[in-house]
């Protein structure tokens, strides 16, 4: 197991190029199972969640050919199983996309569900509601077994109203509907950029999906998806994490390969805090010279402030002048990282879904743990600003979602290195 050792309190200067979006990739790779042909996917982030998904696809009979660091070809013409290995599936939350993809194409899927959860109850009732509406019989236990009930073995288009705005349910139902007979209308959809990206991927393979990015998505089922080429969008949260890093340390970063529109919810908050943010085509210039000002943040589905940036912004607000409130409105328990941040000197009180943050002048380095992916990112942000040395353990969580975080930060002047430590503390809890 690796640890990160960070000697903080150095401003960051330079350029960072953002990788492909994790939460788009972890849906698009399973969706490649729906393609009765060969698809080439570009701008794939090199992260462990992606590597794991390739292994799952390979085991089901897809041929995954790595073309270069960020591009693969997936040939799903000869899939021989609709029951992926539970051991691999349980390691990644996004494995629920295998249900929509396999059910959509083959009319059946048996997928183990990931155990445990890191930030509150993570039900999949809305996914199941959608599959049932499309004519599947679904049973849930250690596995989710889903099978189309119609004589043709295909799902049937239907109207699906989601009771909760859910990213996963929106994407899963959209996938399943893409190869159904007839038209599906999904209402109360999530609007995150990765939903639009998945719809664009499926459309580029021959699907007929309209309205992704709004709260109503209309899917006209087609008989088959053919091969094609697709390039994944840049990662909004990776970009936001580096924005918060420079906000915490001071300095100036040029953050390249972003979609400015996706960054507005994060830029707006940082500007309120006194950080300079300038948008230029596919690049953001982020500079912090003066003190940070307090503000309040409430997480919301897109285009609101993303829950996946909540720990990182809390780390920065801990260094702002005055008292800030952070309200977590998406997950019921996403403040587990607060105890770790306190080890560095943060003054935070949590009451239910609200964290009250009293800004402090500086952090002091200490040993801390990454308790999940974004919690880990927040530890890195805080450690970069802390005086002295911080050791971050459990960084395998961070490596699930950030490509070459250490290399990228070193290239802009951070004193961060990876060290190997004995394996005994390795946890396998799933997130993402």
Q: Give the residue numbers marked as catalytic.
A: 117
Using CA atoms, how far residue 196 sits from 4, 285, 352, in Å, is 34, 26, 32
**Contact region for ligand EPZ (CB under 6 A) — 61-69, 135-143, 164-172, 389-397?**
164-172
Q: How many helices (H) and strands (E) does the chain have?
A: 14, 23
For ligand EPZ, the closer of residues 240 and 401 by Cβ is 401
Location of structure tokens 């019921």: 332
Choice between 103 and 320, CB closer to ligand EPZ: 103
Looking at residue 157, the DSSP 8-state letter turns out to be -
CA gap 245, 398 in Å, rounded: 15
Angle at 100 between CA 94 and CA 104, to 5 degrees: 155
Residue in 18, 21, 25, 26 binding ligand EPZ, rule: CB under 6 A: 26
Q: Does 262 engage in binding with ligand EPZ (CB under 6 A)?
A: no
With CB atoms as reference, the residue minimizing the distance to ligand EPZ is 168
Q: Is 166 in the site for ligand EPZ (CB under 6 A)?
A: yes
Our CB check for ligand EPZ shows the closer of 127 and 287 to be 127
**Contacting ligand EPZ (CB under 6 A), which of 41, 89, 94, 357?**
94
Per-position b or e across 308-337, b if 16+ CB within 10 A of its CB? bbbbbbbbbbbbbeeebebebebbeebbbb
In the list 4, 131, 305, 331, the residue contacting ligand EPZ (rule: CB under 6 A) is 331
Applying CB under 6 A, does 168 fall inside the site for ligand EPZ? yes
Indicate the residue among 292 and 309 with the shorter CB distance to ligand EPZ.
Answer: 309
Give CA–CA dist 268/231, Å, rounded. 28
Q: How far apart are CA 69 and CA 94, in angstroms?
A: 22
Single residue of 167, 270, 297, 398 touching ligand EPZ by CB under 6 A: 167
DSSP 55: H
93 part of the interface to ligand EPZ, by CB under 6 A: yes
The CB-of-166 to ligand EPZ minimum distance in angstroms stands at: 3
The reply to whether 101 sits near ligand EPZ by the rule CB under 6 A is: no
> Is 23 an interacting residue with respect to ligand EPZ (CB under 6 A)?
yes
DSSP string, 56-100: HHHHHT-EEEEEETTEEEEE-TT---S---HHHHTT-GGGGHHHH
Report the residue from 80, 87, 121, 281 that binds ligand EPZ according to the rule CB under 6 A.
121
Is 92 or 273 the residue whose CB approaches ligand EPZ more closely?
92
Give the number of residues in contact with ligand EPZ, rule: CB under 6 A: 26
Among positions 164, 280, 418, 419, the unique one binding ligand EPZ when judged by CB under 6 A: 164
> Is 432 an interacting residue with respect to ligand EPZ (CB under 6 A)?
yes
Sheet containing 136-140: order of strands: 108-112, 143-148, 136-140
Q: Is 184 in contact with 158 (CB distance < 8 Å)?
A: yes
* 297 belongs to the binding site for ligand EPZ (CB under 6 A): no
56 HSE (CA, 13 A, CB side)? 33
Per CB under 6 A, the segment of 74-82, 99-107, 116-124, 196-204 that binds ligand EPZ is 116-124
Question: Does the protein bind ligand EPZ through residue 123 (CB under 6 A)?
Answer: yes
SS3 of residue 46 by DSSP = coil
Stretch that binds ligand EPZ, among 134-142, 161-169, 219-227, 312-320 (CB under 6 A): 161-169
Q: What is the dihedral of CA 241, 247, 253, 259, to 10 degrees?
A: 50
Among 64, 113, 138, 169, binds ligand EPZ (CB under 6 A): 169
Beta carbon nearer to ligand EPZ, 97 or 288: 97
The phi-psi region of residue 291 (left if phi > 0; otherwise alpha if psi is between -120 and 50; otherwise beta) is beta
Question: Contact positions toward ligand EPZ, by CB under 6 A?
Answer: 23, 26, 93-94, 121-127, 164, 166-169, 190, 307-308, 330-331, 373-374, 401, 431-432
């Amino acid at each position: 197991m690796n640890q990160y050792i960070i000697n903080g309190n150095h401003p960051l200067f330079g350029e960072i190029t953002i990788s492909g979006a994790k939460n788009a990739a972890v849906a698009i790779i399973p969706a490649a199972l729906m393609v009765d042909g060969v698809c080439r996917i570009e701008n794939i982030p090199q992260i462990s969640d992606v590597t794991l998904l390739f292994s799952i696809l390979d085991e089901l009979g897809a041929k995954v050919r790595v073309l270069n660091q960020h591009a693969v070809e997936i040939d799903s013409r000869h899939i021989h199983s609709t029951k992926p290995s539970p051991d691999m599936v349980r390691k990644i939350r996004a494995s629920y996309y295998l249900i929509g993809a396999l059910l959509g194409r083959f009319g059946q899927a048996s997928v183990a569900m990931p155990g445990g959860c890191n930030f509150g109850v993570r039900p999949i009732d809305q996914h199941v509601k959608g599959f049932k509406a499309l004519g599947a019989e679904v049973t849930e236990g250690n596995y989710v077994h889903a099978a189309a009930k119609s004589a043709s073995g295909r799902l049937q288009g239907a109207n699906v109203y989601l009771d909760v705005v859910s990213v996963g349910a929106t994407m899963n139902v959209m996938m399943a509907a893409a190869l159904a007979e007839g038209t599906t209308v999904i209402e109360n959809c999530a609007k995150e950029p990765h939903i639009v990206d998945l719809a664009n991927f499926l459309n580029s393979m021959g699907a007929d999906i309209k309205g992704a990015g709004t709260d109503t998505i209309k899917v006209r089922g087609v008989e088959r998806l053919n091969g094609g080429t697709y390039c994944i969008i840049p990662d909004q949260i990776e970009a936001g994490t580096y924005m918060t890093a420079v906000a915490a340390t001071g300095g100036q970063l040029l953050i390249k390969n972003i979609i400015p529109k996706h960054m507005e919810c994060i830029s707006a908050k940082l500007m309120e805090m006194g950080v300079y943010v300038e948008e230029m085509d596919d690049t953001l210039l982020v500079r912090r010279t003066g003190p940070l000002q307090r503000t309040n943040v409430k997480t919301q589905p897109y285009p609101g402030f993303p829950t996946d940036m909540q720990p990182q912004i809390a780390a920065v607000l801990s260094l702002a002048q005055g008292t800030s409130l952070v309200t977590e409105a998406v997950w019921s328990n996403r403040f587990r990282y607060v105890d770790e941040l306190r080890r560095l000197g943060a003054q935070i009180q949590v009451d239910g879904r609200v964290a009250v943050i009293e800004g402090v002048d500086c952090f002091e380095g200490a040993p801390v743990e990454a308790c999940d992916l974004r919690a880990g990112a927040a530890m890195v942000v805080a450690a970069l600003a802390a005086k002295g040395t911080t050791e971050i353990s459990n960084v395998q969580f961070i490596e699930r979602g950030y490509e070459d975080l250490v290399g990228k930060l070193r290239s802009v002047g951070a004193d961060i290195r990876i060290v190997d430590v004995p394996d005994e503390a390795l946890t396998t809890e799933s997130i993402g």
